[in-house]
Amino acid sequence: MSSSLEENPDALILSDDPFHPANLIPELCRSFYHLGWVTGTGGGVSIRINDKAYIAPSGVQKERIIPTDIFVLPYPLVEPPSPHTDRVFLRRPQKNLKESACTPLFWNAFDLRDAGSCVHTHSQNAVMATLLWPGEVFEISHQEMIKGVRTGGMGKALSYLDKLTVPIIDNTPFEEDLKDSMAAAMKKYPEAAGVLVRRHGVYVWGADWEKAKTQTECLDYLFEISVKMKLAGLPTLLTEQ
Ligand SMILES: CSCCC(=O)C(=O)COP(=O)(O)O
Ligand SMILES: [Zn+2]
């Protein structure tokens, strides 16, 4: 980091550019709140641009965060000087805030997929899908919105004829303890664009915030319609084309 940024770390989050991550994260959280994705403080969105990751605070009303609430972390992470000391931040808020408990999960998307953004929702559509698909994966075929999802979240767009598979992991009492099982699911299902967490929600990533957002929208639509189809007794996987 340049010495001017060390002296004035707020320069990392203060910008007139509406597309600066510190401006975008509060805006995205407000729109996700109105979709029911980040109500009751949980869920959120992270953005990584090259060597900097922008992270929202934990346990606060996500629809009310402001740019000065944003944490900036170095990417890759810098090891803390001792195991008992806090993470290394490039910039942290002056308010008494802690970084999102989803940070290690967002890091899975950055490290394992080279993602530029990761969304975590507590959407009831995602949660219902994990309840109606009791196994290790959620699957659906023959839906137009499958075309809005990319292989591994980062590759080429799926075709209408591709089956969409999203792994499901079990929830843990603490969000950060999902890190290893999420990473294992990402390695076992390299073509998946997200990971569902049973009775909790979903993590979805993309090359940038736009792709993470639109893929989350497509997946949420697919979770919703598949739940409705299953409850209506309709098959969600077709063999014929
Ligand atoms: C009622 S939220 C429970 C914790 C959770 O699931 C979560 O996503 C927390 O995220 P945060 O960014 O608030 O640490
Ligand atoms: Zn959560």
Distance 209 CA to ligand 2 centre (A): 19
Task: Report all structural domains of the chain as residue ranges with CATH numbers, in order of start.
Answer: 3-231 (3.40.225.10)
Predicted TM-score of the model (pTM): 0.97
Token couple for 196? 């569902």
Catalytic residues: 144
pLDDT of residue 81: 85
The token pair at 12 is: 């990392």
Q: Please give the average per-residue pLDDT across 127-132, as a whole number.
A: 99
| Ligand 1 pocket, residue 194 CB under 6 Å | no
The ligand 1 atom at the shortest distance from the C-alpha of residue 101 is: 14
User: Tens digit of pLDDT for each residue in 75-126?
Assistant: 999 988 888 888 999 999 999 999 999 999 999 999 999 999 999 999 999 9
CA dihedral 119, 105, 178, 42 (to 10 degrees): -40
Give the model confidence (pLDDT) of 173-194 as tens digits.
Answer: 999 999 999 999 999 999 999 9
Q: Give the ligand 1 atom nearest the CA of 201.
A: 6
Ligand number, closest to the Cα atom of 101: 1
Both tokens of 77, joined, read 């992470």
**Ligand 1 atom 5, closest CA:** 42
Supply the DSSP string of 51-65, one letter for each residue: TEEEEPBSSS-GGG-
Query: What does pLDDT average to over the chain?
Result: 97
Q: Is 142 annotated as a binding residue?
A: no
pLDDT for position 241: 60
- Provide the ipTM: 0.99
Residue whose CA is at the smallest distance from ligand 1 atom 6:
42
Predicted confidence at residue 4, as pLDDT, reads 75
Q: What is the DSSP letter of 58?
A: S
- Residue 240, pLDDT > 80, answer no
200 labeled part of a ligand binding site: yes
Spatial separation of the C-alpha atoms in residues 3 and 9, rounded to whole Å: 10
Question: Contact at 8 Å (CB) between 171 and 79?
Answer: no
